C-alpha cells in the first residue's frame, strides 16, 4: 500500500468519531481549526494491525489559533466544544496554539516558543511523522514531513522539537501499542 493523502483520509475516517468531529467543528467558529494527532495517524497503524480504527485513541486533539490570548477566551471555546461533542463519549482536547507559550513552561518545566499559527503547533510534535493535521476549513491534510514514516511505521525525532528523552518516551509508548513500529535512535 502506498499511503496517499486520499488513502490516509479514508483510513482516518473509518473512525466514526473523526467523521462526527470534523462535521461539527465548523460550528466552533474558531480560526485555523485543525483536527490533529493520534486520532488521525493511529488509524493507519490500526488498519495495518487489523484493529478497529479507534483502538488506542485516548483523545481527539483540536488546534486553533486566536490572537485573543486570554484564558477566558480559550475557556469559552473549550466549553462550547464540550457541549458540541458531549454525546460522543470521547475526550476532545481543544487548545489555542497562540497561548501555549504562556503555560507550557510552568506545566512542563521548559520554555516553549511563541507560535504564529496552528500549523506551528503541529510542527512541534516530538515524532516527525506524527506531525499531521486535517484543516477543517479546507479539508487539506497538513503533513510537513509527509506520510511515509506513518505508512512504514518509522518513529524518528522531530528536528524542530529535538528533545531526545521525551521523544524516546513518546516513541516507546507507541511501540508498546504497535510493536512493529521502528524507533530511529536520536543522534
Cα distance between residue 65 and residue 135, in whole Å: 12
Which pLDDT value is given to residue 3? 92
Which pLDDT value is given to residue 1? 63
Residue 38 lies in a domain: yes
Cα distance between residue 104 and residue 140, in whole Å: 28
Query: Mean of the pLDDT values across residues 162-185?
Result: 95
Q: Could you give the maximum distance between any two Cα atoms of the chain, in Å?
A: 46
- What would the pLDDT profile of 45-97 be if each residue is shown by its tens digit? 999 999 999 999 999 999 999 999 999 999 999 999 999 999 999 999 999 99
Residue 184 lies in a domain: no
**Comparison of pLDDT for 147 and 111, the residue scoring more:** 147
Residues 6+ apart with CB under 8 A from 62: 21, 25, 28, 33, 34, 35, 36, 81, 92, 93, 94, 95
Residue 118 lies in a domain: yes
Query: Mean of the pLDDT values across residues 115-119?
Result: 98
- What would the pLDDT profile of 6-44 be if each residue is shown by its tens digit? 999 999 999 999 999 999 999 999 999 999 999 999 999
Residue 34 lies in a domain: yes
**Residue closest to 159 by CA, chosen among 131, 119, 183:** 131
**Residue closest to 78 by CA, chosen among 94, 65, 91:** 94
Cell of 5: 493523502
**Comparison of pLDDT for 79 and 109, the residue scoring more:** 79
Strands 141-142 and 133-135: antiparallel
Residue 58 lies in a domain: yes
**Counts for the chain of helices (H) and strands (E), in that order:** 8, 7
Which pLDDT value is given to residue 21? 98
Q: Return the CATH number at 25.
A: 3.30.460
Specify whether the CB–CB gap between 157 and 128 falls below 8 A: yes
Residue 182 lies in a domain: no
- Please state the domain count of the chain: 1
Cα distance between residue 127 and residue 183, in whole Å: 10
Confidence of residue 186 (pLDDT cuts 50, 70, 90): confident
Predicted TM-score (pTM) of the model is 0.94
Q: Which domain does 57 fall in, by range?
A: 5-152
Amino acid at each position: 500500500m502506498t499511503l496517499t493523502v486520499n488513502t490516509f483520509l479514508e483510513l482516518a475516517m473509518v473512525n466514526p468519531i473523526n467523521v462526527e468531529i470534523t462535521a461539527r467543528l465548523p460550528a466552533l467558529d474558531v480560526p485555523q481549526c485543525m483536527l490533529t494527532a493520534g486520532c488521525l495517524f493511529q488509524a493507519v497503524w490500526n488498519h495495518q494491525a487489523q484493529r478497529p480504527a479507534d483502538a488506542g485513541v485516548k483523545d481527539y486533539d483540536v488546534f486553533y489559533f486566536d490572537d485573543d490570548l486570554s484564558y477566558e477566551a480559550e475557556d469559552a471555546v473549550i466549553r462550547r466544544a464540550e457541549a458540541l461533542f458531549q454525546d460522543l463519549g470521547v475526550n476532545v482536547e481543544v487548545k489555542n496554539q497562540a497561548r501555549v507559550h504562556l503555560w507550557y513552561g510552568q506545566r512542563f518545566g521548559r520554555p516553549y516558543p511563541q507560535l504564529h499559527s496552528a500549523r506551528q503547533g503541529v510542527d512541534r510534535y516530538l515524532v516527525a511523522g506524527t506531525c499531521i493535521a486535517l484543516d477543517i476549513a479546507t479539508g487539506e491534510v497538513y503533513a510537513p514531513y509527509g506520510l511515509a514514516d506513518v505508512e512504514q511505521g518509522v518513529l524518528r525525532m522531530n528536528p524542530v522539537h529535538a528533545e531526545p528523552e521525551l521523544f524516546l518516551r513518546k516513541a516507546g509508548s507507541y511501540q508498546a501499542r504497535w510493536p512493529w513500529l521502528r524507533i530511529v535512535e536520536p543522534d
